[in-house]
Amino acid sequence: MKSAKNAISPTRKENYAEWYQQVIRAADLAESSPVRGCMVIKPWGYAIWERMQVVLDSMIKETGHVNAYFPLFIPKSFFEKEAAHVEGFAKECAVVTHSRLVPDGNGRLKPASPLEEPLIVRPTSETIIGESFSRWVQSYRDLPLLINQWANVVRWEMRTRLFLRTSEFLWQEGHTAHASQEEAKAEAMRMLEVYRVFAEEHMAMPVICGQKPESERFPGAVETLAIEAMMQDGKALQAGTSHFLGQNFARACNIQFADPDGKLTHAWTTSWGVSTRLMGGLIMVHSDDDGLVLPPQLAPQQIVILPILHNAEETQTILDYCETLRFRLRAKTYHGQTLRVLVDTRDRRGGEKSWEWIKKGVPIRAEAGARELQSGHVSIVRRDNGQKNLLQINEFVEKAEALLADIQESLFRRAMELRAQKSKRIGTYAEFKEFFQGEGCGFAETFFSFDGEAEEKIRSMGITPRCIPLASNSQTRPCFVHPDRPGQFVIWAKSY
């Protein structure tokens, strides 16, 4: 059995990027596919994504949205309707130009029938959904229109990394239409709050809610809001976005409605989404040098019971003991749901099974053998801190919910403490450069006047303005680059 200190090699300190890949491999989450830039999400990885879907889908529906599905293919003419949109996504688009394959006479296949109009493989759905909205919306009585879609999208990526950036990925995208600017802006803010709650209360991942500067806006948006999270290496991850689109896409897609006075006007629209990039965030915020660490609310199995079997005579008795424990735990709830508990009865060595569940990040491992059976106890190990306890079985059943809640809170608190340690308020450009020297990473908090030349100079260092925090209340102070100019409060970081 491997030493606990070397379960994942290299460690985070030795090579964070490679450590990330090794955690994915050790936890059996995903692998690269034969198609360049795409991934195969394996059962344990997909089970985590399903947990995310279940929770987030419920939260979205609680706000009045309903699910629908729209085509994967978007006519090129649709995509061209909004100029900024086309400019922002053109280089990332995959394009279908033919409809079928035929033999070429040499044992191979060739495209046969050119399409009358090329089809864009969905990079995002504003234009194709806008076409439907233009037919569905006729009167103010049809508004607001609140739609969500769970789907896959394709954006050709030059440099890919599992979950964080792949040519095809999974996501949800919400699209709404409203009768007024105020209502649409409120919708964008409301969905940003949904993402914040999901990230912090379910993923145990602290985020900063903010407005994206103009240079970072979604193509075609009037305003982009985002949640920004810090990974353990100090880099930022844009974990979710919510866009106020104004009337730009309504004009491009002809989404009009008759107001109470019969006057025809364009709707105000929003779009918002999160993707399997959240899986990358989950890994990088919580995992350690032993592998994946999962917050209990999103763990496919919250407790795994490992029977310790040494001889055939005691096997069935110990298995029955473990199954009884599982049955009792399943009668308990955590966060409003029945506990997810598995008894691992596979014919493998105990140490091998234990290490597998460590690497998969299961919050609690419970071990029971002849000794525990005789005394009516169970050995408990927490994944978040490695703490071990020998508990009487009734005590463990009663404490299971509290233990899971404590693990969830502990993970969030630990991530908050790390963010505080790696964030710094900076007042001068010299101090800013020093903060990011070498491998230095973290959140630099500054006041900045958004001078284009200065921003480009900073970007050339691999540092970007992540957001203007909403909590800054639009306060202004001297810019850290040009002290004679007033600046907005801005978070800067290297990012994924």
Q: What is the DSSP letter of 167?
A: S
Q: What is the CATH number of the domain that holds 485?
A: 3.30.110.30
Burial track 435-461 (b if 16+ CB lie within 10 A, e otherwise): bbeeeebbbbbbbbbbeeebbeebeee
* Total tally of structural domains belonging to the chain: 3
Cα–Cα dist 496/487, whole Å: 26
Burial track 194-219 (b if 16+ CB lie within 10 A, e otherwise): bbbebbbbbbbbbbbbbbbbeeebbb
Residue 32 lies inside a defined structural domain of this protein: yes
The answer to whether residue 83 scores a pLDDT higher than 90 is no
Cα–Cα dist 382/359, whole Å: 13
Same domain membership, residue 330 and residue 258: no
More confident of the two residues 305 and 160: 305
> Average pLDDT, stretch 323-351?
95
Same domain membership, residue 311 and residue 278: no
> Average pLDDT, stretch 67-86?
91
Same domain membership, residue 236 and residue 164: yes
Residue 213 lies inside a defined structural domain of this protein: yes
Tell me, what's the pLDDT at 82?
82
pLDDT confidence bin for 7, thresholds 50/70/90: confident
Residue 432 lies inside a defined structural domain of this protein: yes
Same domain membership, residue 451 and residue 329: no
> Which strand (E) or helix (H) includes residue 174?
strand 168-178
Cα–Cα dist 424/496, whole Å: 20
The answer to whether residue 4 scores a pLDDT higher than 60 is no
Q: What is the pLDDT of residues 272-322, one digit of tens each?
A: 999 999 999 999 999 999 999 999 999 999 999 999 998 888 899 999 999
Q: What is the pLDDT of residues 436-485, one digit of tens each?
A: 997 779 999 999 999 899 999 999 999 999 999 998 877 899 999 999 99
Same domain membership, residue 261 and residue 151: yes
Residue 16 lies inside a defined structural domain of this protein: yes
pLDDT confidence bin for 90, thresholds 50/70/90: confident
Other beta carbons within 10 Å of 386 = 11
Same domain membership, residue 438 and residue 469: yes
Q: How much of the chain, in percent, has pLDDT values that exceed 90?
A: 90
Tokens of 104: 């070429």
pLDDT confidence bin for 114, thresholds 50/70/90: very high
First to last CA, the chain: 34
pLDDT confidence bin for 58, thresholds 50/70/90: very high
Closest CA to 303 of 273, 258, 264, 344: 344
The answer to whether residue 405 scores a pLDDT higher than 60 is yes
Of 374, 403, 432, which residue constitutes the final position of a domain?
A: 403
Q: What is the CATH number of the domain that holds 263?
A: 3.30.930.10
How far are the Cα atoms of 66, 164, 333 from residue 174, in angstroms, in the given order? 9, 20, 31
Same domain membership, residue 428 and residue 396: no
> Which strand (E) or helix (H) includes residue 87?
helix 83-89
Angle, to 10 degrees, between the axis of helix 393-421 and the axis of helix 312-330? 70
| 186 bridge partner residues | none
Q: How much of the chain, in percent, has pLDDT values that exceed 70?
A: 99
Query: What global pTM score does this model have?
Result: 0.95
Same domain membership, residue 260 and residue 316: no
Q: What is the pLDDT of residues 342-401, one digit of tens each?
A: 999 998 888 899 999 999 999 999 999 999 999 999 999 999 999 999 999 999 999 999
Of 373, 403, 433, which residue constitutes the final position of a domain?
A: 403
Tell me, what's the pLDDT at 345?
95
Tell me, what's the pLDDT at 1?
37
| 75 bridge partner residues | 119
Tokens of 448: 């900045």
Of 286, 310, 325, which residue constitutes the final position of a domain?
A: 286
| 379 bridge partner residues | 367, 390
Closest CA to 213 of 483, 466, 460, 461: 466
The answer to whether residue 2 scores a pLDDT higher than 60 is no
Other beta carbons within 10 Å of 135 = 9
Q: Lowest-pLDDT range, 148-162, 163-177, 225-239?
A: 148-162
Same domain membership, residue 239 and residue 206: yes
Residues belonging to the chain: 496
Mean pLDDT of all residues belonging to the chain: 95
Tell me, what's the pLDDT at 312?
84
Same domain membership, residue 473 and residue 350: no
Estimate the share of the chain in helix, then strand, then coil, as percent rounded to the nearest 5.
Answer: 40, 30, 30
Residue 438 lies inside a defined structural domain of this protein: yes
> Average pLDDT, stretch 403-418?
98
Cα–Cα dist 309/303, whole Å: 19
Residue 241 lies inside a defined structural domain of this protein: yes
The answer to whether residue 117 scores a pLDDT higher than 50 is yes
How far are the Cα atoms of 55, 74, 329, 378 from residue 202, in angstroms, in the given order? 8, 34, 21, 28
Q: What is the CATH number of the domain that holds 389?
A: 3.40.50.800
Closest CA to 147 of 65, 229, 84, 87: 65
Cα–Cα dist 489/472, whole Å: 6
The answer to whether residue 3 scores a pLDDT higher than 50 is no
Tell me, what's the pLDDT at 159?
86
Burial track 478-488 (b if 16+ CB lie within 10 A, e otherwise): ebbbeeeeebb
Question: Hey, which bits of 231-347 come out as E strands?
Answer: 236-244, 256-258, 264-266, 268-275, 303-307, 333-334, 337-338, 341-343
Same domain membership, residue 453 and residue 366: no
Residue 293 lies inside a defined structural domain of this protein: no
Residue 416 lies inside a defined structural domain of this protein: no
Q: What is the DSSP letter of 218?
A: P
Same domain membership, residue 441 and residue 324: no
Range of the domain at 161: 4-286
